[in-house]
Structure 1
């Protein structure tokens, strides 16, 4: 009964906020009483949390310090998110080294963990362009957060009435199969991954 009464009091407050309006959430800021203004669009972190087809990518990413960019309302990022299916199809997983160690090399658990974390950080960084929005209507090259790694987009033939991102190919072979806008960037779902080597 109490829960029902509470929902009658709280739900009208949320229903009154139109998605394009700003809603102030009291006490949710950094200081005890500083309000946070909600712009109506979720953050990249929110989109990645609810995107079930991207759960493996987000699982790798959220263990890294770099994932803070997804929650930063002031950042502008383009995130290239491989689907779970694309990651599962990889011959070597993101945490594995691209060049296998010799059979006689023995690593301690700490060394193995450090190497795995470094590999994951390189892989995730290669999937983040520190700029948003980007133009996918013409061929272009963009730097990723992985130093020295650029990705290219080319425009393939397709229906000119559809959004430009539907015709873009990443590195000449990977298709963009979905797009979601956030308040701090854009997330593109990929049917493949960014190649490091």
Structure 2
């Protein structure tokens, strides 16, 4: 497969959202990897925890944050949908459809969201947050520092990009739900997160990333829309 020029790799994120529909310049003529599937999304806009249980508490749609009547002290959101799972709803919100595409392309994440016995909180950055990143989700400055402009060329470059995209996506998937305020939990990437109520707004820590709202609450977890992306560096 033949890569495009270096200029395609360094094109600024603003180009992706120059119009109402997200656009992405592809890196390869005929990529067939998860990273290619992620690019298509741009163009189109384990262990069982025996104590996990379906989400049952809600205070109404689009209420951003605690206080909540829930004993679990979780952000309020839409009414629970007990007959569906995360894989059914992850693509329903247009504002997060880029990240939703990533979750379908990364096998570890797709498998978890499709597992009714594994409760999960998906922290989905808004499309605008992903477009504003200083680098694309499949890029790593270390790769450029070590390999230069050819870091993502050829099969090895494609594999490298897929690994980076996997890390980015897994860093936004929390292995718990309900997720209580102050509770430190691990993501699929192995990073530790918690959230706090600051002035009536839920904020993911570390990083002070604000939760826009809870957009889905289903049998095996929740989808939270984020105003920014979490630190996904290795």
Q: Say if 1:40 and 1:168 are closer, same or farther in 2 by CA, change over 3 A.
A: closer
Q: Secondary structure at the match of 2:184?
A: strand
1:50 is paired with a residue of what secondary structure? coil
Aligned in 2, Cα 1:145/1:107: closer, same or farther, shift over 3 Å?
A: closer
Higher RCO by CA contacts (8 Å cutoff, separation 6 or greater)? 2
Per the TM alignment, residue 178 of structure 1 is displaced from its structure 2 partner at its CA by 1.6
Q: Cα offset for 1:45?
A: 1.3
TM-score where L is the length of structure 1:
0.69
Give the unaligned 5+ runs of structure 1: 1-38, 159-166
Residues 120, 131 of structure 1: alpha-carbon distance in 2 compared, 3 angstrom cutoff:
same
SS of residue matched to 1:58: helix
Q: Which residue in 1 is equivalent to 2:174?
A: 129
Query: C-alpha displacement at 1:40, in angstroms?
Result: 4.3
Q: Which has the larger radius of gyration?
A: 1
List structure 1 runs of 4+ shifted beyond 4 angstroms: 104-108
Are the counterparts in 2 of residues 127 and 194 from structure 1 also a CA contact under 8 Å? yes
**Structure 1 contact 140–154 (Cα < 8 Å) conserved:** no
Structure 2 spans left out of the alignment, 5+ residues:
1-80
Tell me the equivalent position of 2:154. Answer: 109
SS in 2 for 1:57: helix
Determine the structure 2 residue equivalent to 1:22: none
Deviations along 1:1-58, whole A, 9 cap, x unmatched? xxxxxxxxxxxxxxxxxxxxxxxxxxxxxxxxxxxxxx74421112112111111111
- Structure 1 residue 104 displacement after superposition: 6.5
Greater strand content? 1
The CA RMSD over aligned residues, in Å, is 2.1
1:184 aligned onto 2:184: no
